[in-house]
Amino acid sequence: MGAPRLSRGFAEIVLIVQDVPAAARFYRDVIGLTPETEPTEAWAWFWVGHPGQPQRLALHRGPLLFEEHSPHPPGARWGPIHFALQVGRADLEAAAARARASGIQVHGPTRFDWMKATSYYCYDPDGNLLEWWSPDPMPERG
């Protein structure tokens, strides 16, 4: 009997933000994510994959469940993170251009030969490092 197999796939990420409506405008207008819900002062949910699929990004102001069990001190339990959104190669330049047109500083492109991908990066209003990650197209089989 081996270890149980985990389901494959990413379900959600929750970013702690200072101003949910402002962060929601950034992720909707600059990044281009589709809202799942209208933002409130405490929560906003976005589809990261196809709408209705379980890949979601949430923005939250306030504590999370089980925060009191964190080994880190109050005020340092959560912080800026890095995450990547997969973007098709045909859409990569447009994603970076959309952010630039909104006045966001975009870094890159950065080429990763070891994983055969190209990325651009920017920071959201709360200091989280967002990456648009685009794997090289698969060669056509002949």
What is the widest separation between alpha-carbon atoms in the chain?
58
Average pLDDT over residues 97-107: 96
pLDDT surpasses 80 at 141 = no
Q: Domain 12-62+80-135 - what CATH class?
A: alpha beta
State the average pLDDT over residues 37-42: 96
Q: Is the pLDDT of residue 117 over 60?
A: yes
Q: What is the pLDDT of residue 9?
A: 67
pLDDT digits (tens, 9 = 90+) for 52-79: 888 899 999 988 877 777 777 877 777 7
Tokens of 89: 């190669």
Q: Tokens 């809202």 — which residue?
A: 35
Q: Does the global pTM surpass 0.75?
A: yes
User: Six-digit token pair at 23?
Assistant: 């962060």
Give the Å distances, CA to CA, from 2 to 6, 8, 74, 81, 132: 12, 17, 38, 33, 36
Domain positions in the chain are 12-62+80-135
| Alpha-carbon distance values, 139 to 6, 83, 97, 121 (Å) | 30, 27, 27, 26
